[in-house]
Structure 1
Amino acid sequence: MVLAGFGLSGGGAAAVHRVEQRYAAQTMDRYTEDVSTAVTERVERYSDTLMDLAASIGAQPNLTAADFAASSSGLNWERLPGASGVAFAVPGTDSEVPGIQRYWRERGVPTLTLDPVGAGAEHAFVVFSRPFDGVAAVAGRDLAQAPEPAEALRVARDSGEFAVSRAYVLLKDRQLPPAQQQLSFTLVVPVHNHADGRFRGWVVMGLRGGDFLNETLLSHARGAVRVLLTEGGTGTGRVVASVSAGQEITDDPLNRRQVVTVGQRHWELALYPTDRLLNGADRRMAALTLGAGLVITLLLGALVAILAGARNRAMTQVDEATAALREDIERRQETEARLREREHELQRLAFHDPLTGLANRVLFYERVQHALLTHARERRTFAVLFVDLDGFKQVNDGLGHAAGDAVLREVAIRLRNCVRASDTVARFGGDEFAIMAEQLADPTDVQVTANRIVKALEQPFHVGEPPALISASVGVALSGAGDADAILKDADEAMYLAKTAGKNRFVLAE
């Protein structure tokens, strides 16, 4: 019985040790997958956010500091952990510095002073910025003065895609004490003009490696593993940051390495088990099983009970791990839902006027192009009406801008009431509006609509004392020969003819 007990105890201990090793390996594999997925998804989230911001900037032909502030207003540290801030940078050479400086001063940065570094080189000047850490980027700073961001800017511009720089200390952090400096990355997205595809500059974001790793990975690692973020995927790259809440254990079979690709660059994640993971895996069970077997070799019933208890503990650990994984999945789904909601909001801001809620110039132009195709196939006619308010400046000067904004909102409501639900009403900016009336039964029907608009807008606007009085000059152009630009030009010229003829009327383009 003693020999049999030794054999059973040794065999049981070896079996438990193999189960523990396999369970610990599976746990490390799961942590490795969770951590690499978390890094990739978080960087993709940052990339999507920067691309949305770049699209919003590219849709504005006359970008100002106020436009940039509005487009980036929803971005902060809570939404983008580890990010130091976002900025808009523009390219330029030494000879272009005075012109660039003058241009952006006129667009909301009156104190802008460009600071080119390196004669004869191409520069990238910060003109607008939004800090997340309370330390604003220096307006006019040349990002190309450091080779790491300069390389990322060039890659993003040449490829037209999101790019990440090599690790370095951010320019704004180089004034900090060495103990507070972190290796960081610059995330870059090129900005192109929506109208003609011309390159305009870059949206850039500084990402501090230590803050990013702590905020992104600590919840996924849960203190069970130590995580190192290394630049490069060869195993010999520079360690950027690490996270660990437990005592690291040297156990080569359980060490894991995973290479992830972000922004056309490779990062390596190295994961090492800690005492928390090994204690959670119950690594001492083998020794306990062996000791108990030697003591109670004659009590086979007690040995069976011990094995059953070990199985139950293993099942409990599996259940706990499954519950934690399910929680991670639900949290990831919530994050994706918030990202989709933000994406829809950014798309609405890019194609609608924020004051009136009407379509803006970009969306109106796209719908005119679409109408040209659909109406040509069906041999139908549509019309474009340009509406310019007469006397609106006097309302602004006499009653104030708040009253002027109220008039513009009321104008939008009256215009909607004058047309069908299927027609498009847009605000081009200032006191200029445009309407597209589709599927006209008779081309002369648009004259009834135009007259209705003139009558509706000459009615008093009760936004102050006395009520505001304005009128409208309307130019009408019918679809026919010519593209969208020709139709819009005809409507615009007809509108000016209406103004010349005495205002408060409409004119049909010839």
Structure 2
Amino acid sequence: MARESKSGWSRPWAAFFALIIILGGVAISLGFGVRLRGALERNAESRMATASTSVQTAVTNELGRYADAVRLSAAAMAALPAPTAAAFDKIAEAVDEQDLTAVRALTFVAPDSPGLTASWRSRGATGFTPRTATGLQEHFYTVFAHTLGEEKTAPAIGVDQGSAQAVVDAARLATGHVAISDAYVRLADAAIPKAQQQLSFDVLAPVAGYGWVSMTVGAADFVSANLTKAAGDLLDAQVMTRSSAGALAEVATVARGDGSGFRRTQNFTAGERQWVLRTSATYKSLLPNAGRTDMVVVIAGSTLAVMFGTLMYLQMSATARAEREIAAEVGERLRKVDAESEQGRLRGALAAQEALLSGLIAHPGEETTEVDLRAVVAEVVASGLATAEVTVGDLPQVRADGAILHHLLDTMLADALSRTPPETSPTIAISAGTSADGLVRLVVESAGTVIGCTLPSATVEVPAGS
């Protein structure tokens, strides 16, 4: 090997070893650059997965709130001798107080039948005139309507909802439970230019023998609100569902980016329907500094090969820091999901139900009388709860409409029985307590779930004509 005695290695060999060091440093730098980019992309995908799961949870919880509100509204209407406009308005006002996302209106829809006009006008549907659409096999008319949320105009009374095939299909499905329609253009929006039209979907529950309670939800507002609540401006989202024909149908799309970058598809079930959530995020939003980071690593490694160890340390520490950030973000998302868990939704539903039941008892619309609460409870228990173990405490005399009280007790006990876990012997406890202001709170408890309503005590004087 050629070597100069005084000057060390010869120039060619010095250049050779210098080239080896430079090429080795460049190779190592490029390798670490690639690894760093991979770690950043994995971190971005993890953030994407966490945010997408949060969006799915928010959508599922909100659909559950819709279903609970509509189901309870239908149960309250079914508890009456016959649906009336006054009772419907009280129920709709209670639903409006629940601050549901993107809701537009609560309506009562009835099928075509003999004497339809006179029958519903006698129940308070003032001015009801069926506007029958031609060429339809089935007709469904709006008889009561109440605006919800920020909607300014109530749906027109008498409109034939049979023109919206999505509503017809959902009404056929909602024979014993809550159903959600396909997204469709409301009749009131049909005159708006197509580019400005917004899709809606309905949540329906049956009222046996009379029709359906229907809640209309603005699809785009629904997706946008839940997306913003769960992921801020990080994601774009498209929500789809299986239509009655079996094909995927779009509910709404919120697109703020250019469509490029990370993508994720999730399938889930909510409201008796199959849903598809497609989320996306741009590289810029998830990896805002990735390009500059790669360049810094490559340049630093290429020009300062001796800092190889330091670069390793920085990369590993960056990876550990990223993992801690992911763990913290996942924990925060899970805490938010916990705050909107099934127990929270159940408590909200039971509170809404008690408000509805108490409201109907407090304003029955007829002269109230003194009623033996224990006798009514015994009659209801004997008529439908033979398979359950029922414990009844001391029950006072109350003032109420006997028929309505019987219907409400039947509804409360059936609801309590339905909450008994499978393969568990149903046990129901019925009790009541009287407050200082003379009100009696009737409580039905089953499997840890408490269902209640408030009634006037028989000792409370009711003014004449009230």
Same fold by TM-score greater than 0.5: yes
Change in CA separation of 1:460 and 1:267 when aligned onto 2, cut-off 3 Å = closer
Which ranges of structure 1 fall in alignment gaps of 5 or more residues? 193-198, 376-381, 383-419, 434-456, 469-510
Show CA shifts across 1:129-171 (max 9, x none).
11120111111111112222111111213xx222222222011
Q: Percent identity?
A: 26
Aligned to 1:216: 226
Change in CA separation of 1:300 and 1:226 when aligned onto 2, cut-off 3 Å = same
Aligned to 1:350: 357
User: Is 1:20 matched with 2:40?
Assistant: yes
The aligned amino acid for 1:137 is P
Aligned to 1:314: 322
Aligned to 1:4: 24
Aligned to 2:235: 225
Change in CA separation of 1:368 and 1:424 when aligned onto 2, cut-off 3 Å = farther
Maintained 8 Å contact 1:59/1:350: no
Distance 2:101 2:92 in 1: 15
User: Is 1:242 matched with 2:253?
Assistant: yes
Maintained 8 Å contact 2:374/2:396: no
Show CA shifts across 1:429-465 (max 9, x none).
69x99xxxxxxxxxxxxxxxxxxxxxxx9x99797xx
User: Is 1:153 matched with 2:160?
Assistant: no
User: Is 1:57 matched with 2:77?
Assistant: yes
Aligned to 1:141: 159
Match of 2:204 among 179, 188, 201: 188
User: Is 1:332 matched with 2:350?
Assistant: no
Aligned to 1:41: 61
Alignment of structure 1 residues 244-259 onto 2, 5 Å: 244-245=255-256, 247-248=257-258, 250-251=260-261, 254-259=262-267
1:52 deviates by 0.7
Maintained 8 Å contact 2:183/2:251: yes
Q: Which moved more, 1:19-28 or 1:201-210?
A: 19-28
Aligned length: 382
Distance 1:80 1:460 in 2: 36
The aligned amino acid for 1:267 is W
Q: Which has the higher contact order (CA 8 A, sep 6+)?
A: 2
Runs ≥4 residues deviating over 6 A: 233-236, 356-364, 371-375, 459-463
Distance 1:70 1:339 in 2: 22
Maintained 8 Å contact 2:25/2:301: yes
- SS of residue in 1 equivalent to 2:236: strand
Aligned to 1:171: 187
The aligned amino acid for 2:153 is V
Maintained 8 Å contact 2:37/2:290: no
Maintained 8 Å contact 2:301/2:308: no
The aligned amino acid for 1:286 is D
Aligned to 1:427: 400
Distance 1:175 1:263 in 2: 30
Maintained 8 Å contact 1:55/1:191: yes
- SS of residue in 1 equivalent to 2:166: helix
- SS of residue in 2 equivalent to 1:74: helix
Alignment of structure 1 residues 220-299 onto 2, 5 Å: 220-232=230-242, 237-245=248-256, 247-248=257-258, 250-251=260-261, 254-279=262-287, 282=290, 284-299=292-307
Q: Which moved more, 1:365-374 or 1:63-72?
A: 365-374
Aligned to 1:108: 124
Change in CA separation of 1:265 and 1:360 when aligned onto 2, cut-off 3 Å = farther
Show CA shifts across 1:167-196 (max 9, x none).
22011222334343112212211112xxxx
Change in CA separation of 1:300 and 1:362 when aligned onto 2, cut-off 3 Å = same
What RMSD over aligned residues (CA atoms) do the two structures have, in Å?
Answer: 4.0
Maintained 8 Å contact 1:23/1:281: no
Match of 2:111 among 91, 96, 113: 91
Maintained 8 Å contact 1:231/1:267: yes
Distance 1:422 1:460 in 2: 16
Change in CA separation of 1:373 and 1:100 when aligned onto 2, cut-off 3 Å = closer
Distance 1:303 1:37 in 2: 40
Maintained 8 Å contact 2:374/2:395: no
Distance 1:293 1:360 in 2: 89
- SS of residue in 2 equivalent to 1:256: strand
Distance 1:91 1:284 in 2: 65
Distance 1:361 1:142 in 2: 45
User: Is 1:370 matched with 2:381?
Assistant: yes
- SS of residue in 1 equivalent to 2:260: coil
The aligned amino acid for 2:348 is E
1:86 deviates by 0.9
Change in CA separation of 1:166 and 1:329 when aligned onto 2, cut-off 3 Å = closer
Question: TM-score by structure 2 length?
Answer: 0.70
Q: Which moved more, 1:168-177 or 1:350-359?
A: 350-359
- SS of residue in 2 equivalent to 1:270: strand
Change in CA separation of 1:363 and 1:231 when aligned onto 2, cut-off 3 Å = farther
Show CA shifts across 1:182-213 (max 9, x none).
12212211112xxxxxx321011222211111
Maintained 8 Å contact 1:223/1:244: no
Show CA shifts across 1:319-349 (max 9, x none).
552354145235424x953652342342454
Aligned to 1:128: 144
Distance 1:222 1:288 in 2: 30
Show CA shifts across 1:366-425 (max 9, x none).
4324379999xxxxxx9xxxxxxxxxxxxxxxxxxxxxxxxxxxxxxxxxxxxx953453
- SS of residue in 1 equivalent to 2:119: helix
Change in CA separation of 1:361 and 1:169 when aligned onto 2, cut-off 3 Å = farther
Maintained 8 Å contact 1:353/1:360: no
